[in-house]
Amino acid sequence: MAALAIRIDDPSDPRIAGFVAIRERDLTGREGRFVAEGTVVLRVLAQAGAGGRGFEAEAILLLENRVAGVADILAGFPADVPVYVASAAVFDAIAGFHMHRGVLALGRKPEGVTAADRVAALPSESLVLVGCGLSNHDNAGAIFRNAAAFGADAVFLDETSCDPLYRKAIRVSVGSVLMVPFSRGLPAEELLATLAGAGFEIWGLSPRGEVPVGAIPAARRIALVVGAEGEGLPQAILSSFRTARIPQRPGLDSLNVATASGIALYQIALAMGRID
Amino acid sequence: MAALAIRIDDPSDPRIAGFVAIRERDLTGREGRFVAEGTVVLRVLAQAGAGGRGFEAEAILLLENRVAGVADILAGFPADVPVYVASAAVFDAIAGFHMHRGVLALGRKPEGVTAADRVAALPSESLVLVGCGLSNHDNAGAIFRNAAAFGADAVFLDETSCDPLYRKAIRVSVGSVLMVPFSRGLPAEELLATLAGAGFEIWGLSPRGEVPVGAIPAARRIALVVGAEGEGLPQAILSSFRTARIPQRPGLDSLNVATASGIALYQIALAMGRID
């Protein structure tokens, strides 16, 4: 159970310095921290910490009228995680903007896991999602949410993709970034070579893919590769691996990458018997 | 072809008053206008105007370095649509924020079409999407994008849903709001009764739906009904009609409503032979 709530009346109180102006600061970079926003993500953070996934809360900051509503979640954090409480005026002055959710937690980023170690830890039957050039935090978060919904065992992001531990990505993922194991940082070619070497059948998703996603055959290990909104996957990847498309009306623009990844994961998870 | 570009050097020039502070103003309400942002949406607006869909541009405002890039699109607008051009400093001063896209058009909203008239105009084989309580502009826009991708004939929004002609909804829809016929404003019960009366098989989408979406049988006319993120569809609707679910891992939260609508529309469009 987390400690009793500590009242904060001064936005410059050094104890809550970590929460100051969180919207503007690049916490995930140099500072090595991440922000969990809202009740749903706070609950996931408590579970992820308890589950030994390396995501540990450093401090929690609540709007005074939210304390009672999250009492059961606070009980899931270790006793040494301080819980700070503030009035709306003080809370907004700390955060630097009006945060109607009134629920924030600051965590320390765990050590990154290398793609090779992540691959080595995968079960013999695996479904993984690979993102190349996913620079949009909303899309990155949405893709993790889909990965969780369809039981993907891990997400791999290449070196040109954004950090999914960015505040907004975690929020859009409804906390899935803290649940689905991931690794980020290799060049795409190296990442895909590692997966191919580990027996993964690699399928690139593209509007010009060879087969409809419903025709992707079941396999012991499948990696679905998605590219950035707009540009899609680089030609070097499309020509090195098999490709699949989502059947759709010819039109102005393809599906959003998050929706496309959801449909493709759904079809592959059905084929692999992971959902029914 | 639109007129030659008119240079604007003063942000308070009355000719561009319609573009002032567009992010804050509720243009779609009392003012009866909508904003198209970005090259892709501008192209759709030109096509929608030319296609007689009632979406007519009143004026176009471009950042000076974007003019050459959109010349072919400007050619699709009537000659009496003024095209204004400004430097980055003047453009941002007009819009009230930094708009890196540098492409804006102001349109006048067409008369709303009643749901009854919209239903009466549908082809004998139809797939429509119904949104109840969709208050989030991003989700509303994303749902129109999916509707366009899978060839839905119309979108119906109930009285509690937001206006899809809001700036951000149009942008997220990549212009699909201007392409897919829609009607908004009836109470959900009345809307669904109208569709049922017109021979539509009505399927509510819910995490607790009776059958998986892949088991929805083909029919001449199908209406897929989706509810708000979080709350989902009201029980009164779920108990009045058949319901379908998207198979997924038991977990913390269901899929995002836009992704869920995309998967369900994909499956129904496959069943109806609209995509292959």
Chain B residues whose C-beta sits inside 8 Å of any chain A C-beta: 40, 43-44, 142, 145-146, 148-151, 174-176, 179, 212, 214, 246-249, 251-256, 258-259, 262-263, 266, 269-270, 274-276
pLDDT tens for A51-66 read: 778 899 999 999 999 9
Cβ–Cβ below 8 Å for A256 and B151: no
**Which domains does chain A possess?**
6-108 (3.30.1330.30), 115-271 (3.40.1280.10)
Confidence of residue A99 (pLDDT cuts 50, 70, 90): confident
Cβ–Cβ below 8 Å for A275 and B247: yes
CA distance B225 to B235: 13
Provide mean pLDDT across the span A129-144: 96
Higher pLDDT, B174 or A31: B174
Cβ–Cβ below 8 Å for B253 and A150: no
Question: Tokens 């699949």 belong to which residue?
Answer: A244
Confidence of residue A30 (pLDDT cuts 50, 70, 90): confident
Confidence of residue A3 (pLDDT cuts 50, 70, 90): low
Task: Calculate Rg over the CA atoms of chain A.
Answer: 20
pLDDT tens for A142-160 read: 999 999 999 999 999 999 9
The pLDDT assigned to B252 comes to 61
The pLDDT assigned to B96 comes to 85
The pLDDT assigned to B4 comes to 75
* H helix or E strand, kind and range, residue A265: helix A257-271
pLDDT in tens, chain B (276 residues): 455 789 999 999 999 999 998 877 777 777 889 999 999 999 999 998 877 788 999 999 999 999 999 999 999 999 999 999 999 999 999 988 887 789 999 999 988 899 999 999 999 999 999 999 999 999 999 999 999 999 999 999 999 999 999 999 999 999 999 999 999 999 999 999 999 999 999 999 999 999 999 999 999 999 999 998 777 899 999 999 999 999 999 876 679 999 999 999 999 999 999 998
Chain A CB contacts of B51 under 8 Å are: none
Cβ–Cβ below 8 Å for A276 and B179: no
Cβ–Cβ below 8 Å for A252 and B40: yes
* H helix or E strand, kind and range, residue A157: strand A154-158
Residue A199 C-beta-side C-alpha neighbours within 13 Å: 10
Please enumerate in sequence order all residues whose Cβ is within 8 A of that of A3, keeping only pairs 6 or more positions apart, or say none: A79, A80, A81, A82, A83
pLDDT tens for A191-215 read: 999 999 999 999 999 999 999 999 9
Cross-chain CB nearest to A253 (options B174, B258, B274): B174
CA distance A92 to A274: 44
H helices of chain B, where? 38-50, 71-74, 88-95, 115-120, 137-149, 167-172, 188-197, 235-240, 257-271
- Rounded to 5 degrees, φ, ψ at B8 are -115, 120
Chain A residues whose C-beta sits inside 8 Å of any chain B C-beta: 40, 43-44, 142, 145-146, 148-151, 174-176, 179, 212, 214, 246-249, 251-256, 258-259, 262-263, 266, 269-270, 274-276
Cβ–Cβ below 8 Å for A179 and B259: no
ipTM of the complex: 0.92
pLDDT tens for B23-62 read: 777 777 778 899 999 999 999 999 988 777 889 999 999 9
The pLDDT assigned to B211 comes to 97
